């Protein structure tokens, strides 16, 4: 490949990464809209995943592609869907009832470093010192947000903030599983449809086991808008997710989370007029420096 072709490919991949982050960042203010419209959290996650999955599946079939349902494909759909959508979305939608959308987006900053560490552990290769330092800076940023009396979190929301921290762990596992479990030559659109439907299946099981409502009492009271927005975001994003994982690999793709943080904060400021406390930006700076140390090229 010529230098010019390599530069063109890098620009294309970078533009797609920015697009994916801008789209995904919108899910955080949408989750808050859903919370304000009194959406049952599990029902909201289940419906958006199921509707988006059916829509992407329709596109797959309409374009002449086949929806593979081998054991390997079904395992990938359920595991990746549960880790990237079914379980963390329920956590984040519930947490959106108690935390600002901008604070929730910041927890994504842990996902890239965790992605690297999980990948290194699976390969039985110790992370280098810069990666470990980057991880520590990310943890320091989270600790700064969680420190009492900083004006970033109130005491009543501390528990929900700690619960929300489980989401980047699941996202990091999903990033790696998207590379480990994806069957060879599986098209991105097929994987997106399967992952959305797999995530919906996981959300359905959690909903039934917990005894939560499967459906809202009605779609009035502003409930339809967040459902439509969330469905559009999920359908487009998961196609880009698998396309980018295939192009970049899990570690390089995980930088997406930092861009999504910025996008989520900007969306929250535009939609809700949120103004994070000064220490929020200090925490953000710590995490961004940690990202640079962990993900910069070596050698």
Per-residue pLDDT averaged across 103-130, rounded?
Answer: 76
In this prediction, residue 48 carries a pLDDT of 93
pLDDT tens by residue, 21-46: 889 889 888 988 888 888 888 889 89
pLDDT for 101 beyond 90:
no
What distances in angstroms separate CA 168 from CA 67, 74, 162, 246, 261, one per listed residue?
A: 29, 24, 11, 20, 12
Q: What's the N-to-C CA distance of the chain in angstroms?
A: 23
* Domain contains 241: yes
pLDDT tens by residue, 195-233: 999 999 999 998 898 888 888 888 777 889 999 999 999
What distances in angstroms separate CA 116 from CA 43, 122, 182, 293, one per listed residue?
A: 33, 10, 18, 12
* Domain contains 7: no
In this prediction, residue 102 carries a pLDDT of 66
Question: Residue 162 corresponds to which tokens in the numbers above?
Answer: 């700690």
* Domain contains 53: yes
**Under 8 Å CB-to-CB from 259, ≥6 apart: which residues?**
17, 18, 21, 22, 25
In this prediction, residue 118 carries a pLDDT of 85
Question: Residue 179 corresponds to which tokens in the numbers above?
Answer: 């590379």
Q: Domain containing 77: what range?
A: 16-295
pLDDT tens by residue, 165-184: 888 899 889 888 988 899 98
Rounded Cα distance between 230 and 232, Å, is 5
pLDDT for 256 beyond 80:
no
* Domain contains 3: no
* Domain contains 196: yes
Question: Residue 60 corresponds to which tokens in the numbers above?
Answer: 């797959």
In this prediction, residue 260 carries a pLDDT of 78
**Torsion-angle region of 268 (φ positive above 0: left; ψ -120 to 50: alpha; else: beta):** alpha
* Domain contains 10: no
pLDDT for 127 beyond 70:
no
- Cα dihedral 285, 291, 294, 299 in deg (nearest 10): -90
pLDDT tens by residue, 57-99: 999 999 999 998 899 999 999 999 999 888 888 888 888 778 7
Q: What is the DSSP string of the chain?
A: --HHHHHHHHHHHHHHHHHHHHHHHTHHHHHHHHHHTT--HHHHHHHHHHHHHHHHHHHHHHTT-----SHHHHHHHHHHHIIIIIHHHHHHHHHTTTS-HHHHHHGGGHHHHHHHHHHHHHTT-PPPHHHHHHHHHHHHHHHHHHSTTSSSS-GGGHHHHHHHTHHHHHHHHHHHHHHHTSPTT--HHHHHHHHHHHHHHHHHHHHHHHT--SS-S-STTTTHHHHHHHHHHHHHHHHHHHHHHHHH-HHHHTTHHHHHHHHHHHHHHHHH-----HHHHHHHHHHHHHHHHHHSPP-
Number of domains the chain contains? 1
* Domain contains 8: no
**Torsion-angle region of 218 (φ positive above 0: left; ψ -120 to 50: alpha; else: beta):** beta
In this prediction, residue 152 carries a pLDDT of 55
In this prediction, residue 153 carries a pLDDT of 57
- Which is nearest to 145 in space by CA: 133, 162, 131? 162
As a whole-number percent, the residues of the chain with pLDDT over 70 amount to 87
């Amino acid at each position: 490949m010529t230098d010019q072709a390599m530069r063109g490919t890098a620009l294309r991949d970078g533009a797609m990464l920015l697009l994916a982050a801008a789209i995904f960042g919108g899910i955080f203010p949408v989750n808050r809209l859903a919370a304000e419209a009194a959406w049952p959290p599990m029902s909201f996650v289940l419906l958006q995943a199921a509707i988006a999955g059916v829509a992407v599946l329709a596109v797959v079939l309409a374009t002449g592609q086949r929806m593979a349902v081998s054991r390997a494909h079904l395992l990938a759909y359920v595991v990746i869907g549960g880790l990237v959508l079914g379980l963390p979305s329920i956590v984040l939608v519930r947490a959106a009832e108690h935390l600002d959308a901008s604070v929730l987006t910041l927890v994504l900053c842990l996902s890239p470093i965790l992605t690297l560490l999980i990948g290194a552990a699976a390969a039985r290769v110790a992370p280098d010192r810069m990666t470990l330092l980057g991880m520590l800076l990310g943890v320091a940023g989270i600790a700064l947000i969680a420190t009492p009396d900083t004006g970033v979190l109130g005491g009543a929301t501390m528990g929900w903030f700690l619960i929300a921290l489980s989401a980047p762990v699941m996202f990091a596992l999903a990033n790696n599983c998207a590379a480990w479990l994806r069957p060879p030559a599986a098209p991105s659109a097929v994987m997106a449809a399967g992952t959305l439907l797999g995530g919906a299946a996981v959300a359905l099981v959690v909903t039934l086991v917990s005894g939560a409502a499967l459906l809202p009492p009605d779609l009035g009271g502003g409930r339809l808008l967040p459902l439509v927005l969330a469905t559009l975001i999920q359908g487009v994003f998961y196609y880009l997710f698998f396309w980018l994982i295939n192009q970049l690999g899990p570690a390089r793709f995980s930088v997406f989370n930092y861009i999504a943080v910025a996008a989520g904060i900007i969306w929250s400021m535009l939609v809700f007029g949120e103004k994070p406390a000064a220490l929020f930006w200090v925490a953000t700076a710590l995490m961004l420096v940690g990202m640079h140390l962990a993900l910069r090229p070596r050698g």
